[in-house]
Amino acid sequence: MITNSYKTKTLVLLIIVSLLFSILIPFSSSIAWFLPVVFFILLIGIIFFFLLLKDISYGILLITFLLPFEQIGGFDIFGMNIRLSQIVFLISFIAWILSGLARRDLKIKIDLKLALLVMYVIVAIASIANTLNLFRSIQIFSFTLFVFMLYVFISSYKFNRDLLEKIVTVLFISMTVTCLFGLFQFVGDMIGLPQSITGLDDNYVKAVFGFPRIQSTANEPLNYANYLLLPIGIAFAFFADNKLKFENKKIDLKKASLPLLILAGIVLILTYSRGGWGAAVLVMFIVVIRYLKELVNLKNLVLGFLVIILSFVSIILISELSNAPFNLGSVISRINISDASSEHRVQTIQDGLSAWEKNPLIGIGIGSYGPLVAKYRNIRPEGGWQTVNNEYIEILIETGLLGLTIISSFWLSFFLDLHSRLRLKVPFDRALYLGVFAAFAGMLLQYISFSTLYIFHLWYLIGILNNDYFRKNKLTKI
């Protein structure tokens, strides 16, 4: 019989191995290291696969930990960034299918939401007929289909309270690890450490802005800010729910929520992502509206004021200790919504909409916006394919009115579910759902300022929102 202690030790070992992979992967670009690293990954992958055949939850927990690992914890193949979280998901998905078929208990959740995604897939395939770059369209279509598979996997898996508590615990641990690494990036770049140590991209060092922008393990600061919305939403909902209790637990997630919020808030500010800031405000607003009575008291008002002061004081202290004083005026002057970048973004959107008008129903082809505005449509630019930096407009341009209507209907369906989910009887279920939903709403808001439909952690949390665990639990009056 497998005990909880054994499961915990196994999970910790898997996380350590994953971190080791994240360190080793950059060496795989060297010919001397490539084969040993690949062999090591394949060996661990085979062992992990057979472990998953016994318990798929290991895969879900490891995926949760690896969500923010993109640039660090990933490697490039033919211009594509392959991440450990994607590899773990693929192995987990295959093991889930095979073990389900072997036990004859495989259940895939089929509902209106899945039907909408199938409809979008059909429209995306049809749009490829208008593509400007066939390889690019097939590539983006494959990425999109991949995250749809993740959604199906997470939404169909049978969750229970114990597994969800472990998921939240692992999520908070992963957030803490990557936030601390982000702070190291900030301090390291301030004091002049090389990028090979800090892991910062050329575009985010202090030489560019006058201050470093934290990207942690993600590809960009805005990606990491987007990921932080999930732990921030859950932690704030846990903090706000006065009825929430974790008895007989080694880690009290409610007590841990406030320090985690402070840490995540400081790092979020240091990403200097305007879209991330606005999205975080919406996340907090949604939670506040639900728990207004619980939150509005003198103790919490004083606590909130102190947290805000502490966050800014921490940023200033970090800067001072790095011998690079924090200049708020410099930051504000550089974060200007009327800069040349914004003007360029308006022009590219106009170019895209002009092309869309020729194919309004199914668009110019999924993934075709980049080739449309590139100098050579069949040659990948050195800096990568350009995006609209507005997901809604990009979907409209590439898959037309049909694609945008279908995806918008899919997203809207979760807002229609919200009222019943807020009536969940168990405080943990209610707080967790609200926190995840608030993060989802924040990410949709942030889509105004960037565009990538196939964000891995977004479809992971959407899968959680649609899991039957929340549907089957008893409801009560609000």
pLDDT above 70 for 24:
no
Ramachandran class of 471: left when φ > 0, alpha when ψ lies in -120 to 50, beta otherwise: alpha
pTM of the model: 0.86
Q: 45-49, 144-148, 216-220, 229-233: lowest mean pLDDT where? A: 45-49
Q: Which two tokens mark 229?
A: 């919305």
Is 327 strand, coil or helix?
coil
Mean pLDDT for the chain overall: 82
Length in residues, the chain: 478
pLDDT above 80 for 142:
yes
pLDDT category of residue 440 using cuts at 50, 70 and 90: very high
Give yes or no for a contact between 217 and 265, defined as CB atoms under 8 angstroms apart: no
SS (H, E, C) 385-413: CCCCCCHHHHHHHHHHHHHHHHHHHHHHH
Amino acid type, 414: F
pLDDT category of residue 190 using cuts at 50, 70 and 90: confident
Give yes or no for a contact between 126 and 365, defined as CB atoms under 8 angstroms apart: no
83 bridge partner residues: 74
- Which of these, 284, 301, 175, lies nearest to 231 by C-alpha position? 175
pLDDT category of residue 11 using cuts at 50, 70 and 90: low
pLDDT above 60 for 470:
yes
The predicted structure's pLDDT at residue 10: 63
- Which of these, 14, 59, 65, lies nearest to 173 by C-alpha position? 65
Q: 280-284, 302-306, 465-469: lowest mean pLDDT where? A: 302-306
pLDDT tens string 256-269: 888 999 899 989 98
Burial (CB < 10 A; 0-12, 13-18, 19+), residue 163, is middle
- Which of these, 417, 407, 418, lies nearest to 147 by C-alpha position? 407
Give yes or no for a contact between 356 and 364, defined as CB atoms under 8 angstroms apart: yes
Cβ-defined contacts of 139-148 (< 8 Å, 24+): 139/80, 139/367, 140/366, 140/367, 140/454, 141/366, 141/367, 143/454, 144/366, 144/453, 144/454, 145/121, 146/86, 146/454, 147/453, 147/454, 147/455, 147/456, 147/458, 147/459, 148/117, 148/121, 148/459
Amino acid type, 196: S
The predicted structure's pLDDT at residue 65: 93
For the beta carbon of residue 319, count every other beta carbon within 10 angstroms: 18
pLDDT tens string 323-340: 555 554 555 455 454 444
Main-chain phi, psi angles of 148, to 5 degrees? -65, -40
pLDDT above 70 for 83:
yes
